[in-house]
Amino acid sequence: MHGKVRRSGLMLWACCFFCTLPVLATPLQADSDEFPIIMMSAELGTHDGMRAMGIDFVHTYAYPSEEFFNSAAANGLRVMVNLNGVKWAQEPDGVEQIRNLVRQFRNHPALGFWYLADEPDLAGVTVDDLTRLYTAIKEETPEVLVANAEAWSEHWTAYQGAQDMLMTDHYPVENNDPFPLQDITIPMHFLARALALDDQPVIPILQSFNWQVFRPQTPSRLPVAEELRYWCYASIALGARGLGWYSHYEGLRSPGGAQWFANTFAPVVSEVRQFVDAVAPAHHPTPIAGADAANVYLAIWKRSGTNWVVLVNNLNTGNTVSVSLEGQVADGPLIPWGSTAGSPAAVVGGTLQPVTLAPYEVKVWTQDDSGPLRILSVEAIDITATSAHVHFVFNQHAQGQVEYGRDTGYGNWTTKEESFNYADHTQPLAGLSPATTYHYRVHGWDVAGVEVVSDDHQFTTLGGEPDAGVDADAGADAGADAGTDAGAGADAGADAGADAGADNGVQRPDDGADGAVDAGADGGDGAGSDAESDTEISGDCGCRADTPSPLSLLLLLLAGWMLLVARRRP
């Protein structure tokens, strides 16, 4: 019997394991919506941490192996397969060697695309020799993209016929000068030149190493977060097909490299991953004319009721910018997204109002494009004798607040939410009287301050006697995790200043009241509390509703004894 149980458990574990393995897509397609973020020299043993950094493609300069491919597949990654074309282009049997490599891995589920040659111009590889290899690869796998990487060398444009995709590389942080003294714009100028060539997709390979690993006698440093952020968003605004990083291995060899990947690189690139997923296809932005004159990159993505705006300063000094967005973005505020610093920007009369940027600073904003604020639904849920929750949904992210009372004079308010992070809201009402009908309505505000108000709604609390010491009209502690007093407005720091046990209803809190807190402060769903919050109704009984009874304790002891006897039975 025990053997059957163990085997059943093993089968269940195996089913769970294989069912949770990542399902990999087909090789990268030129016309797909995906935006690859590639880590070069991501060696075996490091793949499990790549996804958390926003990476979804890996590469190795070592000879491709089944083990490397399987490791990538197990971690939901695909492989940019290094074919070492610079070597094979100069070997008599190079074409056959390339064919063998391609045949070995062309059906592996982790195949992403072929990486044929690294800087062939600098390596002295002729266009004809590389074209022979490219032709052989396409005969074997006509549907799989072939990429070459090029430095900004004399003949870097000559290899267009030997590739489907171009990767540009330039690594500008070459010494120890602090940010922003080094010119970090050259990779973007190179990328812009490459994008202007023809319709081939272009992926820039960006710097994730310290030049000191190659030049031990020359002090240098790793890029700082501002530089990484500049390269990423400038590349995306220009229309890059993805991002590459050179390299994980050399970055780890750099002084402090492991900590740098965890504390500097990962926060930036994982946010970029969130951005490109939100605006997919990220490589089809709408560039804004006239941005060059202001020394910025400026692009817009219109996606599913949301406008996304990226503004990148190309100067190593401050830069105040005002650009026309007429016909692209509606008048109104632009809400900072991600790690974008500062208060909302605004578009007035079709023009982005002056924005002051720090050196190489990036701003990412969103703007709701779903039309005027509307309340889509309102309902009372989780109704008990002394509490309830009001669930309401807007057509866009908005602030929310509930007004309630025993009649249509209401008189009580929940805490107004400060953030615009949610469209779906839930707010708690507590300290209610049993078997009592309550009226309530929802108020909402968009980012421009325009208010909408719902019709009157009603619910009736469950029957029973009121708890001792609880004044039902006072609307005592609302139980929100943020610690606000929804009924009495008596948050410890609230300017409303009402006592939680006061007999009168709470006046509507000032929008700027110290006691007003973001109802989404617990990070859940904007509800401001769990559906079964830590509400504690004050009373004179001196006990909590969740105190176990003697009978409950006896049953628990009995169950424990029975479990002990069962475990000892042979």
Here the CATH number for the domain that contains residue 336 is 2.60.40.1180
Q: Is residue 311 domain-resident?
A: yes
Residues 312 and 163 in one domain: no
Q: Which of 229, 258, 279 is the last residue of a domain?
A: 279
The DSSP call for residue 264 is: I
pLDDT at 447: 79
Please state the pTM of the whole predicted model.
0.68
Span 89-93, average pLDDT = 94
Both structure tokens of 238: 């220009």
Distance of CA 490 to the CA centre of its chain: 36
Q: Is residue 257 domain-resident?
A: yes
The owner of tokens 């800087």 is 119
SS3 217: coil
Residues 269 and 130 in one domain: yes
Q: Provide the domain count of the chain.
A: 3
Using alpha carbons, select from 367, 492, 351, 480 the residue that is nearest to residue 428: 480
Of the two residues 371 and 146, the one the predictor is more confident about is 146
Residues 257 and 344 in one domain: no
Question: pLDDT, tens digit, for every residue of 248-274?
Answer: 999 999 999 999 999 999 999 999 999
* Confidence grade of residue 198 (pLDDT, cut at 50, 70, 90): confident
Span 243-252, average pLDDT = 98
Q: What is the domain range of residue 72?
A: 37-279
Span 392-405, average pLDDT = 92
Q: Is residue 30 domain-resident?
A: no
Q: How far apart are CA 325 and CA 88, in angstroms?
A: 51
pLDDT at 558: 63
Task: Give helix then strand counts, H and E, for the chain.
Answer: 11, 25
Using alpha carbons, select from 314, 390, 386 the residue that is nearest to residue 357: 314
Least confident interval from 54-58, 255-259, 271-275, 535-539: 535-539
Span 296-309, average pLDDT = 93
For 195, list phi and psi in degrees, rounded to 5. Answer: -65, -25
**With contact defined as beta carbons under 8 Å apart, do 438 and 405 qualify?**
yes
Q: Is residue 135 domain-resident?
A: yes
DSSP bridge partners of 465:
none
Q: Which of 325, 344, 368 is the last residue of a domain?
A: 368
Q: Which of 442, 461, 480 is the last residue of a domain?
A: 461
